[in-house]
Chain A
Amino acid sequence: MKRLPEILLAVLVLVMLCAPWLAPNGYEKQSRDFIAVGPTKDFLLGTDALGRDRFARLLFGSRLSLLLAPAAAAVSVFLAAVIGALAAFSGKRLESAIIFFSDVALSLPWLFLLLTIRGAMPLDIRPEVSIVITFLVLGLLGWAGPARIVRAGVRLILKSDYIFQAKAMGIAPSRTFFRYILPNIKPLLIAQFWISLPVFILSEANLGALGLSVSEPMPSWGNLLKELESQTSALEHPLANWQLLAPIVLLVAVVSLLQLSQQRLKGSS
């Protein structure tokens, strides 16, 4: 029972990965005879204004967000590891330069930066390209915070007695790095990865709500939330229109589960 959040997360990811089989009609097929209908046997969550299956769109959208948030987190943690370690190992001048750039990166208004990047691109870019750009940009923007933590962690290790002992035993520098420093920084990197996951999921949702995420017709949690804008009935009668709120419920559930599993990560280390 202690592992419940992780088990639930794993089940969710598994279900989302099965999207092509669970919703064989796909996320972009329009059923002209069923425009904006409520839940039926064929359309478990009804259809949207273009007659597309809401259930299929939710599955495919979740799959996208659940696969790409880890990818973005991996990009940012990898960058953080390289930059943070470089800062810790390098001389004073390079280190202060890196700290300066991470300060700048942390103070950037990233929303405006994203607006600019998306604005500079043609509106009709292919959905696949928009996916890569969205999450690459998120990943590239997320390195600064973790990089500082990595730098502090590596510095602490470099000052430790066991690194000193390794030197006094004549262990070669490269071996010291791969056997004595890297394994001891790993828990920190894993923690940073888990912490960034919900941040990136929420960032994508925010971007989507502004229409800056993955482009149509591809669904993502952000895009699905954006549709809620025009669905005022959902907010007036949430119980009658529960199917419209499914994306937001799922989003909150996944982020909460991630936070819950993180708490244990902190507690156990």
Chain B
Amino acid sequence: MGIIPVLSVMLNVDYSGKGRVLNGVCLDLAPGEILGLVGQSGSGKSTLALSILRLLSFKGGSDSGSILFRGNELLGASEKQMRKLRGNQISLVLQSPLASLNPSMRIGRQLFEAWGAHSNENGAATIMETLRQVNLPTDEAFLNRYPRQLSVGLAQRVLIAMAVLHRPAVLLADEPTSALDALTQASILDLFRKVNREYGTAMLFVSHDLLAVASLCHRIAILHEGQIVETGTPREIFETPRHEYTRTLVNAIPTLRFETPERVQV
């Protein structure tokens, strides 16, 4: 492959008290690619996203290795340089949408804050255009709402709109659909596809939900015990899993058999 990856990661991460969480994790993200990162809860999936944004110390971890973003090493970058990248070139969408919005600020104001963090120009046109892209209303009444007046699905759309406001090269999504019901989850997955198609945003989609990941991603990486044990297309992962852990994961997906389970006689 002659494509230069937009993001290239080789990482070790330690948490004080917990020991090594990621051990020599290697990942390449091609421009415009959606890469799924699947692993159990507590396997260090989110840690990877935090480390890329250089926000690991916020949660009490330390890392070593190399993070190349467009050929620039992020591991030694200053906080000032990183702040210019965050939300601008690399953005993040978190798991709990309602908790991720400032409870005392109106939705519109928050979008303008996200815009103003990286631009001095008037962002109204871009914000409205982005809101339309993520299928959100653009009227005053909606923009004047507070987060507590939103449903989880709407809140997640607002967060995605904020994340793609500056048309980042990379979007890190940390379990963005785990807190959503099935229908909302499907529509949010659709939205990620659309954002990827419209803006060519490369995505690292972190999740424990193998099915959701398989339906969305170009490639899947399986994380187990701090290491990437297998990488492949969804087809490869499902049809010819090579690693034992991958097989366990694939087999654990419930299938519909339409057999009525026997009732326990009381």
Residues of A that sit less than 8 Å from B by CB: 160-162, 164-172, 175, 179-180, 183-184, 186
A254 → chain B closest CB, angstroms: 31
Structural contact, A172 and B117, CB atoms closer than 8 A:
yes
Structural contact, B102 and A164, CB atoms closer than 8 A:
no
Structural contact, A165 and B117, CB atoms closer than 8 A:
no
Q: How far is the CA of A160 from the CA of B65 in the complex (A)?
A: 28
Does any Cβ of A come within 8 Å of B246's Cβ?
Answer: no
Residues of B that sit less than 8 Å from A by CB: 53, 55, 58, 83-88, 91-92, 94, 96, 99-105, 113-114, 117-118, 159, 162-163
A80 → chain B closest CB, angstroms: 20
A-B pairs with beta carbons under 8 Å apart, 17 shown: A160-B99, A161-B100, A162-B101, A164-B94, A165-B101, A166-B102, A167-B55, A167-B58, A170-B85, A170-B87, A170-B88, A170-B117, A171-B87, A172-B117, A175-B113, A184-B103, A184-B104
| Residue from B91, B96, B103 in contact with A169 in the complex, judged by beta carbons closer than 8 Å | B91
Given contacts A170-B85, A171-B113, contact A180 B91 (CB under 8 A): no
| Residue from A170, A179, A186 in contact with B102 in the complex, judged by beta carbons closer than 8 Å | A179
Q: Is the interface of B mostly helix, strand, loop or mixed?
A: loop
A213 → chain B closest CB, angstroms: 39
- Which residues on A sit within 8 Å (CB–CB) of B159? 165
Structural contact, B53 and A162, CB atoms closer than 8 A:
no
Structural contact, B53 and A168, CB atoms closer than 8 A:
yes
Q: How far is the CA of A175 from the CA of B96 in the complex (A)?
A: 23
Q: How far is the CA of A186 from the CA of B103 in the complex (A)?
A: 12
Q: When A and B form their complex, which 4 residue pairs have the shortest distance between CB atoms, in order from nearest?
A: A169-B87, A170-B86, A168-B92, A170-B87
Nearest B residue to A169 via CB reads: B87
Q: How far is the CA of A179 from the CA of B118 in the complex (A)?
A: 16
Structural contact, B55 and A168, CB atoms closer than 8 A:
yes
Structural contact, A169 and B94, CB atoms closer than 8 A:
no
Q: How far is the CA of A168 from the CA of B86 in the complex (A)?
A: 5
- Which residues on A sit within 8 Å (CB–CB) of B101? 162, 165
- Which residues on B sit within 8 Å (CB–CB) of A165? 92, 94, 100-101, 159
| Residue from B91, B102, B103, B104 in contact with A168 in the complex, judged by beta carbons closer than 8 Å | B91
Structural contact, B91 and A161, CB atoms closer than 8 A:
no
Nearest B residue to A171 via CB reads: B117
- Which residues on A sit within 8 Å (CB–CB) of B96? 161
Known: A169-B113, A169-B162. 15 other contacts (CB 8 A): A161-B94, A162-B100, A162-B102, A164-B58, A165-B92, A165-B101, A168-B94, A169-B114, A169-B117, A169-B163, A170-B86, A170-B118, A171-B117, A175-B117, A183-B102
- Which residues on A sit within 8 Å (CB–CB) of B102? 162, 166, 179-180, 183-184
- Which residues on B sit within 8 Å (CB–CB) of A183? 102, 104-105
- Which residues on B sit within 8 Å (CB–CB) of A171? 87, 113-114, 117
Nearest B residue to A165 via CB reads: B100
- Which residues on B sit within 8 Å (CB–CB) of A170? 83-88, 117-118
Structural contact, B92 and A172, CB atoms closer than 8 A:
no
Structural contact, A169 and B86, CB atoms closer than 8 A:
yes
Given contacts A170-B84, A170-B87, A172-B83, contact A162 B103 (CB under 8 A): yes
Q: How far is the CA of A27 from the CA of B243 in the complex (A)?
A: 91
- Which residues on A sit within 8 Å (CB–CB) of B100? 161-162, 164-165
- Which residues on A sit within 8 Å (CB–CB) of B58? 164, 167
| Residue from B55, B104, B163 in contact with A164 in the complex, judged by beta carbons closer than 8 Å | B55
Q: How far is the CA of A168 from the CA of B113 in the complex (A)?
A: 13
Q: How far is the CA of A164 from the CA of B102 in the complex (A)?
A: 10
Structural contact, B113 and A179, CB atoms closer than 8 A:
yes
Nearest A residue to B147 via CB reads: A162
Nearest B residue to A184 via CB reads: B104
- Which residues on B sit within 8 Å (CB–CB) of A180? 102, 105
A225 → chain B closest CB, angstroms: 42
Q: How far is the CA of A170 from the CA of B84 in the complex (A)?
A: 6
Nearest B residue to A164 via CB reads: B58
Q: How far is the CA of A186 from the CA of B104 in the complex (A)?
A: 10
Q: How far is the CA of A166 from the CA of B53 in the complex (A)?
A: 12
- Which residues on A sit within 8 Å (CB–CB) of B103? 162, 184
Q: How far is the CA of A183 from the CA of B113 in the complex (A)?
A: 15
B152 → chain A closest CB, angstroms: 13
B143 → chain A closest CB, angstroms: 16
B166 → chain A closest CB, angstroms: 9
A269 → chain B closest CB, angstroms: 12
B7 → chain A closest CB, angstroms: 16
- Which residues on B sit within 8 Å (CB–CB) of A160? 99
- Which residues on A sit within 8 Å (CB–CB) of B104? 183-184, 186
- Which residues on B sit within 8 Å (CB–CB) of A164? 55, 58, 94, 100
Structural contact, B87 and A162, CB atoms closer than 8 A:
no
Residue of A160, A170, A175, A184 most packed against chain B (CB within 10 A) = A170
Nearest B residue to A158 via CB reads: B58
Q: How far is the CA of A165 from the CA of B159 in the complex (A)?
A: 9
